[in-house]
Amino acid sequence: MSSVESPETAAHDDVRGRELQLGLHGQRLGFRVRRLHHLLSERVVEAFAPYGLRPGSLTMMVLISANPGYSQVELSRIGNLDKSAIVTIVDDLEKRGLAIRGRSSSDRRRNSLFLTAQGEKLMKEMHQLAMASEQPLRDGLSPGEYDQLFELLEKARALLAEEK
């Protein structure tokens, strides 16, 4: 040990190369889900980079496609998305000719959202890229494990949603 090196510094230097421990966070499902989400999001952002679209664009296009005519407010509720973020995403999709806003015939204050043919095509391409980014999970888990993971995540979401 050098004259400037304390026992604490020497001990700290010994941790290099060791895996960082999660501590109490290792017991929290939310922390583990967030870590997985972060890794998946990084992969999707990288795959979508050539398109120059904002994060959340695919989610919004999928929701619009599955629920044509719904309003931004309704889609934010369905997708559990921030309303202000949706406005920015929909503005961007509309400027690119991927989505259109139409006035509701029953309530002129309400904007109904629809994907254009170009938006539907791009959504399908991006969905394939998103699925490809998850391929390591499908390769590393058995089909039963993969299906069970989906079921358990949905069950956990539903249990927490019931409490609201």
Question: Above 80 in pLDDT, residue 1?
Answer: no
Nearest CA to 118 among 64, 42, 156? 64
pTM for this prediction:
0.77
Residues 6+ apart with CB under 8 A from 45: 55
Which domains are assigned to the chain?
52-133 (1.10.10.10)
If you average pLDDT over every residue of the chain, what do you get? 88
Q: What is the residue-wise DSSP string for 81-107?
A: --HHHHHHHHHHHHHTTSEEEEE-SS-
> Which pLDDT score, from 0 to 100, does residue 23 have?
80
Q: What is the C-alpha R_g of the chain?
A: 22
User: pLDDT-based confidence at 10, cuts 50/70/90?
Assistant: low
The DSSP bridge partners found for residue 99 are 115
Q: What average pLDDT does the segment 125-132 reach?
A: 95
